[in-house]
Amino acid sequence: MKFNLPLIPILIFSFQCLTSLGQEDNSPKLQLVKVASLNTIDANKEFQKNVQLVQQQRALAVQLLGKMEETQDKDVHDKLKEQFDALQVKLNENNKLMFKTYGFSLNRNYVMTVEKSHVHMWVTEEEAVSINNKSQNEKGEASNSDSEKSGLRSLFNENK
């Protein structure tokens, strides 16, 4: 997943680190807390789509605000202001919904970790049947044996 983090907080953080050398650190210690689990591929795709939507809405709001500040024409300014106000209402609604659904807000930075993944490979039908049969046999047996007798290697190399 790709999050576009704003550069300003990174620069401010870097500046604070440089200016606080030799000074006592009174800032609170930060901790990562889990706010949501996305248990399916579809849930992850939906989350990414929703994050992208609110980030695009925020970027559009920034563009509209910049155009409003640059324009000298009152009619154009009023039209841009109307668009900005409508977009801001919608963005706030979406941001609240994202927080309610995922614990996500545009006001925070996030770290996404992979909790579960699957690795797949292309094989012939015969290999697939063989692998599936061996996997079923291993699941049926008690797996108290060492790691050499189980796992992917055992599916292909009977004798090492």
15-60 residue pLDDT tens: 343 344 445 567 788 888 888 888 888 999 999 999 999 999 999 9
Beta carbons of 64 and 84 less than 8 angstroms apart: yes
pLDDT confidence of residue 40: 86
pLDDT in tens, 77-93: 999 999 999 999 999 99
pLDDT in tens, 89-115: 999 999 999 999 999 999 888 888 877
Q: With bands split at pLDDT 50, 70 and 90, how would you rate the model's confidence at 154?
A: low
pTM over 0.85: no
Beta carbons of 36 and 102 less than 8 angstroms apart: yes
Cα distances (Å, whole numbers) of residue 114 to 4, 36, 41, 79: 19, 12, 12, 45
Decide if pLDDT at 149 tops 60: no
Interatomic CA distance for residues 8 and 18, integer angstroms: 15
Q: Where are the domains of the chain?
A: 1-13+30-118, 125-156
DSSP state of 36: -
Of 102, 122, 120, the residue nearest 1 (C-alpha): 102
